[in-house]
Amino acid sequence: MGETVRQNRLTLAVAVVVGLVLLARLVVYQVRDDEVAVVLTFGRATDDVTAPRTGLKWPWPVQQVRRFDRRLRVQQTPLEEVATRDGRAVLVGSFVLWRVASAQGFLQSLGDADAATRHIEKVLRSRQSETLSRHPFGALVSVDPAQLKYQEIERDLLRLVGDDLRPLGVEVKTVGIRRLGLPEETTEAVFERMKKDREAKAAAIRAEGEAEAGRLRAEADRERDTLLSAAEADARRLMGEAEREAEEAYARLAQDPELAIFLKKLAALEKLLGRRTTLVFDTSEPPFDLLERDWRAGVAPVESGR
């Protein structure tokens, strides 16, 4: 009898615990940090939960909690042809990083993630065409990096798409151009324009090089003329000094012709005897006649033939 009572009490305790757990599951809800939620009372949103929380609610069907993942999601658009401001066609594909910011707004305007994906793609494609139509082709494709406007275009897309989706409970973090392509006819035109740009730059570089070469040649000519002028001036000065010295020497020799003849003979003799060789000469002919003279008193003339 006592054993049966204990078993009944244990069964009752287990039932009470299970009942309390079930009741807690019905009246207690928890929203994690990677979620947002909305509390519905008789199907109408009465509380928008945007931060982690543990709260109480009435059991269904009075109240229920709808949760949505608030982590970032990526939505892309396929490549599609868009016309620029100057009527050129480009193929553009974009992407957007978004997340659910308000469960109440998201539920009421979009309902679920699949509907949100379709709507966000539609908005992005529309704003993409609108934004690119305000920019020229050179803002997307150019050999000059200063003409490219990708950052400006992406800022405009972020602002426009964010304004469109914010009332729907969606927060847009980033919008960008993921891929850019060109139709075949546009590609040929781009290559032709790039070729012309390169040719123009090459012509400018050649002109600059020719101008620099001309400047260097002019400097070299000026420096050459300066050096030649200095050299000619030095040469004229040296020639003038030599002529003055020669005139002085000639004047001194003119005063003593015999001395001048003697010095001439002596110089010629020194030049000949300076060569190490054997000479056969006639001492009666100048300048060898100096060899047979007796320059000291009482000394016989030098024999000829040496």
Q: Tell me, yes or no, whether 128 and 114 share the same domain.
A: yes
Q: Pick the residue with more confidence: 33 or 296?
A: 33
In the chain, the number of structural domains is: 3
Task: Evaluate whether residue 149 is within a structural domain.
Answer: yes
Domain boundary among 167, 182, 197: 182
Cα dihedral 198/204/208/210 (nearest 10): 90
How confident is the model at residue 297, as a pLDDT?
A: 47
The structure tokens listed for 27 are 């009246």
The mean predicted confidence, pLDDT, of the chain is: 80
Whether residue 279 is predicted with pLDDT greater than 60 in this model: the reply is no
Tell me the per-residue pLDDT of 1-31, one tens digit each, with 9 for 90 and over.
566 767 766 666 666 666 656 555 677 788 8
* Lowest pLDDT segment from 54-63, 251-260, 270-279: 270-279
How confident is the model at residue 56, as a pLDDT?
A: 75
Task: Evaluate whether residue 80 is within a structural domain.
Answer: yes
Predicted TM-score of the model (pTM): 0.55
Q: Tell me, yes or no, whether 62 and 100 share the same domain.
A: no
31/269 Cα distance (integer angstroms): 128
Tell me the per-residue pLDDT of 286-302, one tens digit each, with 9 for 90 and over.
656 655 555 454 444 44
Pairing of strands 80-83, 89-100: antiparallel
- pLDDT category, 306, cuts 50, 70, 90? very low
Tell me the per-residue pLDDT of 209-229, one tens digit each, with 9 for 90 and over.
888 888 888 888 888 888 888
How confident is the model at residue 128, as a pLDDT?
A: 93
Query: Does residue 19 sit in helix, strand or coil?
Result: helix
